[in-house]
């Protein structure tokens, strides 16, 4: 009886020992697998971080290089045959788009950016010498460096709004020349030429109603084309999209456009619209009240009919950040272009017009260059007159970048990431 119990006890101990060994092996194997998994995860994370660093390095090459890169170009970053990227840089309106893609092991990354140039803004106001003093009324405030006609500044009482400032200038004053600071007329006119590619995805329609177009810059450009007028209603359009219209374009307030480039005769934007666009108008641009054109937005207008004037007109309480140019190649006294802002509007950026600018109770945080200012009041029109206008280049954000076409040798920088 005793011997039987002893054998049972010995058998149970053996089973227990085998069980303990099995558990130990199981735990050891699990730990080994876990360690291997963690190592693979670490390598995976390292590979992904390496790819992302390569993409950033590739984009830095695009920003610093004067090479064209209009076609996909393979580049070995460190000449070790391990870290390679694909680069491309293409014009997009007045800016450029930089594209970079990279892969390492089984990891891939890509990124697109909008590229601008460090600006050369050295003045708040430049009014050409036209043998007429600049009259100031109301709460007008000129700050920063201002180029003023030889006859200088004077107080006015136009529309019963006498100048109330403690002094006429809140910055430095220099005498202007008869001509405005030069722009490269050849390149400026080229911006209105439509660049098309065989790879573009063409869509023909005169009305964009309740559509949603979201296009990456790594894909072919979506080109929406119309031989007549084009209307955009309750639609969302983002990214790599161009609108080409042989007539006028109208955008309603319920639509959202971002980074879209538009070519048209006239552009009409309804009250309350918000978005970022680049517009190249062959006639004029009319913007209703409370429109917010986000940075970086662009409005360029030139009149192709030499007997008429190019107008860029903003309503009340509008906001815009970017660049505005109204330009007439064959300038005559009766076809001067006009850029005008109605009451309580704010513009941040650079404004150029070889004609008139009108700022009614509006702020320009940036730079204005024009032949003359003008004020249209109840009792008449007054040339070289500002009433309740404020112009101050010092209020422009330090992160502001201008279009790359102004000076191709300028240092290029990233404006924003794209989709």
Contact 299, 192 (CB under 8 A): no
Predicted confidence at residue 5, as pLDDT, reads: 53
**CA–CA distance from 142 to each of 162, 319, 380 (Å)?**
16, 20, 24
CA 27 to chain CA centroid, nearest Å: 58
Predicted confidence at residue 39, as pLDDT, reads: 47
Q: Which helix (H) or strand (E) is 37 found in, with range? A: helix 2-64
What does the alpha-carbon distance between residue 353 and residue 183 come to, in Å, rounded to a whole number?
11
| Nearest in space to 251 (alpha carbons), one of 236, 233, 266, 237 | 233
User: Which residues of the chain fall short of a pLDDT of 50?
Assistant: 2, 37-39, 41-44
Number of other residues whose CB lies within 10 A of the CB of residue 152: 12
> Per DSSP, what are the bridge partners of residue 391?
142, 364
Pairing state of beta strands 346-359 and 380-383? unpaired
Tokens representing 13 are 């101990």
Q: If you write DSSP's letter for every residue of 44-59 in order, what string do you get?
A: HHHHHHHHHHHHHHHH
Predicted confidence at residue 40, as pLDDT, reads: 52
**CA–CA distance from 302 to each of 189, 306, 336, 337 (Å)?**
9, 10, 11, 8
- What burial class does residue 398 get, using C-beta atoms within 10 Å of its C-beta: 0-12 exposed, 13-18 middle, 19+ buried? exposed
CB burial of 303-339 (b: ≥16 within 10 Å; e: otherwise) equals beeeeebbbbbbbbbbbbbbbbbbbbeeeeeebbbbb
The C-alpha angle 12, 16, 22, rounded to 5 degrees, equals 145
Whether the model clears a pTM of 0.85, i.e. scores above it, the answer is yes
| Nearest in space to 294 (alpha carbons), one of 143, 113, 415, 121 | 415
What does the alpha-carbon distance between residue 180 and residue 188 come to, in Å, rounded to a whole number?
15
Mean pLDDT, rounded, of the chain: 89
DSSP state of 164: -
What does the alpha-carbon distance between residue 157 and residue 165 come to, in Å, rounded to a whole number?
13
| Nearest in space to 97 (alpha carbons), one of 114, 116, 72 | 114
Give the number of residues written for the chain: 419
Predicted confidence at residue 44, as pLDDT, reads: 46
Tell me phi and psi for residue 45, to 5 degrees: -65, -40
Per DSSP, the three-state class of 177 is coil
Predicted confidence at residue 197, as pLDDT, reads: 82
């Amino acid at each position: 009886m005793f011997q039987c119990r002893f054998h049972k006890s010995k058998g149970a101990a053996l089973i227990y020992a085998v069980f303990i060994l099995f558990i130990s092996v199981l735990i050891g194997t699990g730990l080994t697998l876990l360690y291997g998994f963690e190592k693979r995860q670490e390598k995976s994370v390292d590979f992904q971080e390496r790819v992302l660093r390569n993409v950033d390095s590739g984009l830095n090459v695009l920003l610093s290089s004067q090479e064209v890169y209009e076609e996909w170009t393979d580049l070995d970053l460190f000449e070790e045959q391990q870290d390679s990227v694909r680069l491309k840089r293409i014009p997009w309106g007045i800016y450029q788009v930089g594209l970079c893609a990279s892969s390492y092991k089984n990891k891939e990354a890509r990124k697109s950016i909008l590229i601008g140039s460090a600006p050369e803004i050295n003045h708040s106001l430049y009014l050409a010498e036209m043998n007429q003093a600049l009259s100031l009324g109301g709460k007008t405030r000129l700050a920063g460096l201002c180029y003023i006609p030889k006859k200088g500044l004077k107080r006015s009482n136009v529309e019963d709004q006498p100048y109330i400032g403690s002094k006429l200038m809140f910055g430095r004053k220099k005498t202007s020349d008869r001509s405005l600071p030069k722009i490269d007329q050849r390149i400026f006119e080229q911006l209105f030429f439509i660049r098309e590619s065989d790879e573009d995805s063409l869509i023909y329609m005169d009305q964009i109603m309740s559509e949603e177009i979201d296009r990456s810059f790594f894909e072919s450009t979506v080109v929406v084309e119309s031989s007549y007028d084009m209307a955009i209603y309750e639609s969302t359009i983002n990214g790599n999209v161009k609108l080409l219209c042989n007539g006028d374009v109208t955008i309603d307030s319920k639509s959202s456009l971002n980074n879209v480039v538009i070519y048209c005769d006239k552009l009409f934007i309804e009250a309350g619209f918000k978005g970022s666009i680049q517009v190249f108008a062959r006639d004029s641009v009319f913007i209703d009240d409370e429109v917010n054109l986000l940075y970086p937005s662009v409005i360029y207008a030139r009149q192709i009919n030499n007997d008429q004037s190019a107008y860029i007109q903003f309503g009340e309480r509008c906001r815009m950040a970017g660049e505005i140019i109204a330009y007439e190649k064959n300038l005559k006294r009766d076809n001067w272009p006009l850029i005008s802002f109605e009451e309580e509007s704010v513009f941040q950026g650079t404004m150029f017009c070889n004609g008139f600018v009108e700022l009614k109770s509006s702020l320009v945080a940036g730079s204005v260059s024009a032949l003359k200012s003008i004020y249209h009041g109840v009792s008449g029109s007054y040339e070289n007159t500002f009433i309740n206008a404020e112009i101050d280049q010092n209020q422009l954000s330090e992160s502001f970048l201008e279009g790359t076409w102004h000076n191709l040798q300028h240092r290029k920088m990233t404006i924003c990431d794209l989709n």
